[in-house]
Amino acid sequence: MTESKKHMAPDLSDDAPDLSAPEWQEKFANAKVQRGRPKAEKTKVSTTIRLSPEVIEYFKADGPGWQSRIDEALRKVAGL
């Protein structure tokens, strides 16, 4: 036997504060939120460089961090 059940409206009452209230809006506006990791003191510059496939293969062979290893090798050659 199947009976028709009356659909009830969901009870949306809860104890959550009204976040659209002015005091909450002020708190949100004054909040200092930084997403992601903190910025380094000295950031790197994004650029495009063409390298031979063998060079890329050599640095990628050691796994992740290959771009940093290329940067390190170039800094060493440049005397930095």
Query: What is the per-residue pLDDT across 30-46, written as a single tens digit (0 to 9) for each?
Result: 888 778 888 888 888 89
> Residue 19: which H helix or E strand, with range?
none
Mean pLDDT of the chain: 87
Report whether 24 contacts 18 (CB < 8 A): yes
Q: Length of the chain, please?
A: 80
pTM: 0.51
Positive or negative, the CA dihedral 13, 15, 18, 22 is: positive
Alpha-carbon distance 72 to 78, whole Å? 10
**Per-domain boundaries in the chain:** 44-80
Alpha-carbon distance 25 to 18, whole Å? 10
Condensed to tens digits (0 to 9), the pLDDT of residues 8-19 reads: 777 777 778 888
- For residue 1, is pLDDT > 60? no
